[in-house]
């Protein structure tokens, strides 16, 4: 069983429009159930970062608090993960996550179908 970080566009291409950000989040979350059904634990950095942002008083996507918490949360989580799934779409943050994952020696997947099932 692996803890698998799902990385892909969150803010990218949204101009911080909340509806477009939600659509990106929906795309990230859409692959979480198939990962779980394969016997693994899916993780999305925003699942941890978003409550922290609220508690820290972030008022909008991209503000100073957001910058201090958003990416560092994902980077810390990666140190606990076994693998990363990089879904399609342009994303500087997700590309950074893949770079960090490679340095940590994590398995890198680009399709859910490539993730093995736990037997």
Question: Which residue range(s) make up the domain with 71?
Answer: 3-114
Strand order in the sheet with 83-86: 41-43, 3-7, 83-86, 107-109
Q: Is residue 40 part of a domain?
A: yes
- E-strand spans in 1-119? 3-7, 41-43, 83-86, 107-109
Reported as a single tens digit per residue, the pLDDT across 52-77 is 999 999 998 889 999 999 999 999 99
Measured between alpha carbons, how far is 1 from 3 in angstroms, rounded to an integer?
7
Q: Is residue 30 part of a domain?
A: yes
Average pLDDT of the chain to the nearest whole number: 95
pLDDT at 62: 87
Instruction: Report the CATH number at residue 11.
Output: 3.40.50
Q: What is the pLDDT of residue 19?
A: 93
Is 119 a member of any domain? no
Q: How many domains does the chain have?
A: 1
């Amino acid at each position: 069983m692996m803890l698998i970080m799902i990385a892909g566009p969150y803010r990218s291409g949204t101009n911080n429009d909340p509806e477009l950000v939600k659509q990106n989040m929906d795309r990230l979350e859409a692959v979480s159930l198939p990962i779980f059904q394969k016997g693994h634990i899916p993780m999305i950095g925003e699942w941890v970062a978003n409550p922290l942002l609220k508690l820290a008083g972030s008022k909008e996507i991209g503000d100073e608090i957001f910058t201090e918490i958003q990416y560092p949360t994902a980077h810390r989580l990666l140190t606990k993960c076994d693998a990363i799934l990089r879904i399609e779409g342009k994303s500087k943050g997700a590309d950074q996550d893949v770079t960090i994952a490679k340095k940590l020696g994590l398995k890198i997947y680009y399709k859910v179908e490539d993730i093995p099932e736990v037997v």
